[in-house]
Amino acid sequence: MKVVSVSGYKGGVSKTVTAIHLATFFSELGQTLLIDGDPNGSAISWAEKGKLPFKVVDQKGSMKAIGGNDFIVCDSPARPDSRDVKELKNGSDLLILPTIPDPLSLLPMLQIAAVLAGSNYRALIAINPPKPNLDGESMQAELREADIPVFNTKIRRSIGIPKAVLAGVAVRDLTGRDRMAWLDYQSLGNEVLELLTDG
């Protein structure tokens, strides 16, 4: 069983969207559970229409649901304290820290990276604007310069995401342009799998 957690010091940076799509990717490979660690229950609400290809439980319900899964993805609330982050890192095989490509997001990333030094984590550039905007590339370069490990994959900003939320599905299950971001999640999923088998 592999446990991947999604966290970060900043709110609204695509943590829940990342967790839902990684769990969708994993569900094609094995039995997958998503634990919604956010008291707001965003992932639980996304799952309410019963159309996601994996089970979603809140933290209280997680004890009974954990057994028998190949993959567990944990979504977490915004602004955890450093103790929460340490607990999350100790309980996970890999920690994913989504960030938007915005200069103001660099500082919280540097702060959380200091807490996570030496553990298995990666930053993820999400909600990346389309070319000719190069903010994603700049952010990736700045993170690398600061010695923060960052996924090669960037997740594009896509109108498919809010549509998927409304429909209670993952973008994988949309059509045409709305589905394009699924290519990014597949690429991310493959990078994650590689990290999980290395470690």
- Shortest CB 18 distance to Mg ion, Å: 9
Count residues binding ligand ATP (CB under 6 A).
20
Amino acid in position 96: I
Strand order across the beta sheet in which 71-75 lies: 55-58, 32-36, 71-75, 2-6, 94-99, 121-128, 150-156
Taking CB under 6 A as the rule, does residue 11 contact ligand ATP?
Answer: yes
- Shortest CB 11 distance to ligand ATP, Å: 3
Helix, strand, or coil (residue 177): helix
Amino acid in position 181: A
Of 110, 111, 115, the closest CA to residue 143 belongs to 110
Residue 181 touches which member of Mg ion, ligand ATP, none, C-beta under 5-8 Å by kind: ligand ATP
Near ligand ATP by CB under 6 A: residue from 35, 97, 109, 126 = 126
Q: Between 31 and 163, name the residue whose CB sits nearer to ligand ATP.
A: 163
CA 10 centroid distance within chain: 13
- Residues near Mg ion (CB under 5 A) are 15-16, 42
- Residues near ligand ATP (CB under 6 A) are 11-17, 38, 42, 77-78, 126-127, 155, 157-158, 161-162, 165, 181
